[in-house]
Structure 1
Amino acid sequence: MTQMITPPLAKQPADWWKNEIIYEIYCRSFQDSNGDGIGDLQGIISRLDYLQELGVTALWIAPVYRSPMVDMGYDIAAYQQIDPVYGTMADMDELLEQAQARGIKIIMDMVLNHTSDQHPWFQAALQDPTSKYRDYYVFQHPANGQVPNNWRATFGGSTWEPVPNEPGTYYFHTFATEQPDLNWENPALRQELYRIINWWLDKGVAGFRLDAITQLKKDQDWASLPPDDDDGLVNVERKGLNRPGLGQFLAELKAATFSKYNAVTIGEAYGVPLEQLEEFVGPGGYFSMIFDFSYLNIDVQDANEWFKKNQWEVSDLAQTMFMSQQEIKKARGYFANVIENHDQNRAVSKFIRTEDHDNPAAAKALAALYFFLAGIPVIYQGQELGMTNFERSDLQEFNDLSSINNYQRALANGYRPNEALKIINFRSRDNARVPMPWDQTKFGGFSTVTPWLAPAANNVVRNVAQQRNDPASVWSFYQKLIRLHQDSHWEALWLEGEVVPVRTGEDEMIVYQRRLKQQTVQIMINLSGKVQPLRQVVVGQLELDSLATNGKPPAEIRDLQPYQVLIVTID
């Protein structure tokens, strides 16, 4: 099956993506179809009916390109090939066709900051210093033969790696040593990347989630800075995150690719201050939407250094969330709203106190909290089941590169091994990457053999088969939220309505309204394990009650039970 499966995006309004419900799939852990313990494209195809029933309209698929999997596919060795572990390009064509038949769009994950060191471009650059591919990457040969500067890579250690058989020559990597950065200063490299993107758009993908997209531009002085830790190094983000000149690259990227196809783009845009939101996602901005990381990383001072914890309260979460909402309104732009993704731990474990992690009501409360903010809701696989973190007893049980790095960084900062292990158990990206639990069989219906990554034992009871037909389950609650969000009666309100925080006098309640013309909907969330009084009578029509409070009209409800959610149309 080699035909192009091109959806008629060009015939749709430019903002067709504003009312989508996006679901992220980490293919490796979603569904194994061939009994090798690893999820694959045919596995996704086999579950399209499930996704359609849930109500999602677009799938964001984490990288499935050919890769040595040092960083689980975010180290691409061939942009126009599917890794054999996931299937073939014919499988991808079939996925595009089968998804389109169900009204589901496919959004690919694209990595433009770096490739794998196994990519033919980089291999050619190593083999021949005079090759054009040497300028596709960042190489330096300082006169003194020393490392060019003291920048620290995101995954630890220097950003500079010695080139084999070329003493005094180094290549640059923001992330792992096996992920050399592409040289965006080179116009020929940029044109090659645009060709690849357009090839995928011609094939029929609806758009892209753009990985590490604010890290394309590095300060060209390559100057050292004062160290920020005892290792004598400084965070590379000081000189390589959202730096002056990035906008020129992003504007050219959009003009050469996405705008020609009416494609949706979701930027992983770390380092964008609130005052720059309009530049990135306002009318004419670089992207359709970007993620709001302000509250997603509320528990740490630095998303790359998990041992630097933040102490926070529910009131801090509300304040941070509503501040971002206020600024995105000013920017006339859109967020991709998330509480989980492949780079985060599970939301119930992060935002809910430990003793309530197993409470389905808590998972429902978090769902309602973010689902009706201004922007586009994104669900991560398993989130609709209320999945929680795992607990590993040994470092060898972790696959995630950043978890291993953070363990070593914690030790270097004086933590004992058991303390470091506790930190990465809590924050590890592997928490989100465990196999999807479809049923209660030995391997959770994910595979017929031992999976590539051990499942979380405490998620055995959280499976699709158990929840799919239970009207009180977390899964059913997500389905109800999606239906409410997709209801044509409320479509304009969710897309364009104002977000208005409501003061309650209770620190662990979050209440906000969506308002547009004559429509007002109030979302009330008790984000605590205790009963919270409603100090104001709410008069209106009850649209959704996470606990089904005996069918009482809102005006008769005087308290919110632990983790209860009420969504009410205000008269």
Structure 2
Amino acid sequence: MQELKRDWWKNEVIYQIYPKSFNDSNEDGIGDLEGIRQRLPYLKELGVTMLWICPIFKSPMNDNGYDIADYEAIDPQFGTMEDFDLLLNEANQLGIKIILDLVVNHTSDEHEWFKQALADKNSKYRNYYIFKEGNKRPNNWRSQFGGSAWEKVLGEDAYYLHLFGKEQPDLNWENPELRQEIYAMINRWLEKGIAGFRIDSITFIKKDQDFASLPADGSDGLVSCKHKTRNRPGIGKFLNELKKETFEKYNCVTIGEASGVDYKEYEEFIGKDGYFSMIFDFHYADIDVESGTDWFKRSNWQVKDFKQLLAQSQETLQKAGWAANFIENHDQPRALSKLVHPDFQNAHSACAIGALYFFLRGTPFVYQGQELGMKNFQRSSIVEFNDISSIDNFYRAIAEGYSEEAALHFVNLRSRDNTRTPMPWNNDKYGGFSQVRPWLAMTQEYSEINAKNNMVFEFYKKMIALRQDSAISPILTNGTIAFLSNVPENVIAYVREYNGERIYSFTNLGTEKEQVNWPKAMEHIFVNTHENKIVETENVLLPYQSILFK
């Protein structure tokens, strides 16, 4: 196998798998590693070159695997380490790399370290977590999932910190011994031959050591923990050490989930000597809400706002380093439901929003089912939700004065369960995902929107081929990006340029036809989401039409 260049990951197309919902091989209603292996031919046909698999480690699944009880064991519901090795080997033979989720801000409360910390307050493991003595909560921080970020230790006058669920105690990164344990574990995974990691909640590892309260921001008397625990001064020391002790020793890829990072700090994160290969930028992804954690605070966004955020993001990332481009993931609703007017939520629009982001500068990420044009579900009761964040937001919205009906509406729009519904492979009962009732109900449209004879799939296949293996691949991969301003408000247009060659992308994200003046006469159209519509002579883009041309 030839030696990979240092920045090999710039040439990848990454497909995110939520293993619980991808494909069930043993008919227990839960997706598994063997299920992923069985679908490798599908992924190869699509053209993706790397799989990011969400957590498969041993876990009590209070937060669907993001609460890890053992970093070096596969959870039995997903299979065994032998299953993983088989998947890794077969994927590599097909030219598909695999990266895993790295969750090192917290563990499960069922991790051996935490059990030891509770069993003996004088053990070294007490200092692996953040405990505070006293008979009242140390401060008024609210966890990311709602409620106090402090949980009382049974039988003691003490509390432990959890920035997420109470079953997810935060690790104490101030402790060098703990850090060395984490690094050793990471290196053992990299030795196994995985290509790298997507790194979860990494900007939360540094906490302000004064542990001070702040003025409340909600009717519960609490304040979001992010002001004192997210991307705080001193985090660079931890992140540099993490890179030096692990990632730098291997030619691996690292993608940081780096919420709360200011644009002026992006170079520290992804510059020449940055902590990570690339990071996700949530500034444009969270366009539909004022804050990623308060779903009842809806924004009344317009296309011009989205366009401005997208352009600012791309221009900042271009100066600083490399982008991880996405419109969907396991924490976001379906992009078709979020970005497109309800009257236009169809296959053509799914292709248009796909084309809008796919040709941006950076590495494109495709989330499972996105390539089928999947939409949000509609649940009629809070008991139908699995996601703890959805349940918390429902009750918080009611506490803030909203009716149950309004609270349910907010949760349906934003629930993380929207993208966690089982993958529909065909129109059989349960969509070919399983022969038995799945762990989470399917979307309502799975009999029509599935992997069989799917127009959106064919479109994604074409886009991936254009980026990976065509005459314009060098421009789409290596080219600069500049957004065009002399276009209608609802049109997002940018130019990619490399070695003097230019490719233009135009997308109408509005519900009316838009008159446009093309920058130059069209020489060749590579992508047109409405192929029966001749754009070059009429200077018109239909609603949710996207074209890529030279």
User: What TM-score comes out, normalization by structure 2 length?
Assistant: 0.98
Question: Per-residue deviation at 1:170?
Answer: 0.6
Q: 2:190 is matched with which residue?
A: 201
1:50-69 to 2 correspondence within 5 Å?
A: 50-69=42-61
For the pair 1:125 / 2:106, whether they are aligned, the reply is: no
Q: Among 64, 83, 92, which residue is 1:91 paired with?
A: 83
Q: SS at the partner of 1:196?
A: helix
1:453-492 to 2 correspondence within 5 Å?
A: 453-467=440-454, 473-487=455-469, 489-492=471-474
For the pair 1:356 / 2:344, whether they are aligned, the reply is: yes
Deviation digits for residues 170-202 of structure 1 (CA, Å, limit 9, x no counterpart): 111000100000000000100000011011101
For the pair 1:539 / 2:527, whether they are aligned, the reply is: no
- What is the one-letter code of the residue matched to 1:502? L
Q: SS at the partner of 1:302?
A: coil
Question: Per-residue deviation at 1:491?
Answer: 3.4
For the pair 1:345 / 2:333, whether they are aligned, the reply is: yes
- What is the one-letter code of the residue matched to 2:56? V
Q: 2:143 is matched with which residue?
A: 153
Is the CA contact 1:388–1:459 (under 8 Å) kept in the aligned structure 2? no
Question: Per-residue deviation at 1:504?
Answer: 4.2
Is the CA contact 1:508–1:526 (under 8 Å) kept in the aligned structure 2? yes
1:512-531 to 2 correspondence within 5 Å?
A: 512-531=494-513
CA distance in 1, matches of 2:268, 2:297: 31
For the pair 1:407 / 2:394, whether they are aligned, the reply is: yes
Question: Per-residue deviation at 1:562?
Answer: 2.3
Is the CA contact 2:74–2:81 (under 8 Å) kept in the aligned structure 1? yes
CA distance in 2, matches of 1:318, 1:377: 18
Question: Per-residue deviation at 1:326?
Answer: 1.1
Deviation digits for residues 63-98 of structure 1 (CA, Å, limit 9, x no counterpart): 000000000000000000000000000000001000
Q: SS at the partner of 2:481?
A: strand
CA distance in 2, matches of 1:492, 1:123: 52
CA distance in 2, matches of 1:344, 1:393: 20
Q: SS at the partner of 1:539?
A: coil
CA distance in 2, matches of 1:489, 1:253: 39
Q: 1:398 is matched with which residue?
A: 385
Q: 2:164 is matched with which residue?
A: 175
CA distance in 2, matches of 1:491, 1:254: 31
CA distance in 2, matches of 1:505, 1:96: 46
- What is the one-letter code of the residue matched to 1:567? L
For the pair 1:285 / 2:274, whether they are aligned, the reply is: yes
Question: Per-residue deviation at 1:488?
Answer: 5.2
Question: Per-residue deviation at 1:508?
Answer: 1.4
Is the CA contact 1:19–1:491 (under 8 Å) kept in the aligned structure 2? no
Q: 1:109 is matched with which residue?
A: 101
Q: 1:5 is matched with which residue?
A: none
Deviation digits for residues 345-366 of structure 1 (CA, Å, limit 9, x no counterpart): 0000000111212x11110110
CA distance in 2, matches of 1:491, 1:125: 53
Q: 2:8 is matched with which residue?
A: 16
Q: SS at the partner of 2:268?
A: helix
CA distance in 2, matches of 1:26, 1:259: 27
CA distance in 2, matches of 1:269, 1:492: 28
Q: Among 366, 370, 392, which residue is 2:357 paired with?
A: 370
For the pair 1:424 / 2:411, whether they are aligned, the reply is: yes
Question: Per-residue deviation at 1:374?
Answer: 1.0
Deviation digits for residues 229-250 of structure 1 (CA, Å, limit 9, x no counterpart): 2211111000000000101100
CA distance in 1, matches of 2:384, 2:278: 36
Question: Per-residue deviation at 1:32?
Answer: 0.1
Unaligned runs of 5+ in 1: 1-7, 468-472
Q: Among 22, 30, 34, which residue is 1:42 paired with?
A: 34
Is the CA contact 1:288–1:334 (under 8 Å) kept in the aligned structure 2? yes
- What is the one-letter code of the residue matched to 1:564? Q
Is the CA contact 2:352–2:507 (under 8 Å) kept in the aligned structure 1? yes
CA distance in 2, matches of 1:14, 1:503: 35
Q: SS at the partner of 1:514?
A: strand
Q: SS at the partner of 2:296?
A: strand
Is the CA contact 1:512–1:523 (under 8 Å) kept in the aligned structure 2? yes
Q: 2:228 is matched with which residue?
A: 239
Q: SS at the partner of 2:239?
A: helix
For the pair 1:562 / 2:543, whether they are aligned, the reply is: yes
Q: Quick one: percent identity of the two aligned structures? A: 52
- What is the one-letter code of the residue matched to 1:250? L
Q: SS at the partner of 1:411?
A: helix
The worse-fitting range, judged by mean Cα deviation, of 261-270 and 482-491 is 482-491
Is the CA contact 2:487–2:493 (under 8 Å) kept in the aligned structure 1? no
Q: SS at the partner of 2:430?
A: coil
Is the CA contact 1:439–1:466 (under 8 Å) kept in the aligned structure 2? no
CA distance in 1, matches of 2:536, 2:441: 48
CA distance in 2, matches of 1:489, 1:255: 38
CA distance in 1, matches of 2:14, 2:384: 31
- What is the one-letter code of the residue matched to 1:500? A
- What is the one-letter code of the residue matched to 1:177? K
RMSD over aligned CA atoms reads 1.2
Q: SS at the partner of 1:140?
A: strand
For the pair 1:137 / 2:118, whether they are aligned, the reply is: no
Q: 1:470 is matched with which residue?
A: none
| Equivalent pairs, count | 549
Over 3 Å counting, the alpha-carbon distance change for 1:489 and 1:466 in structure 2 is closer
Q: 1:4 is matched with which residue?
A: none
Q: 1:248 is matched with which residue?
A: 237
CA distance in 1, matches of 2:425, 2:214: 50
For the pair 1:336 / 2:317, whether they are aligned, the reply is: no
Question: Per-residue deviation at 1:517?
Answer: 2.5
User: What TM-score comes out, normalization by structure 1 length?
Assistant: 0.94
CA distance in 1, matches of 2:137, 2:27: 46
The worse-fitting range, judged by mean Cα deviation, of 528-537 and 406-415 is 528-537
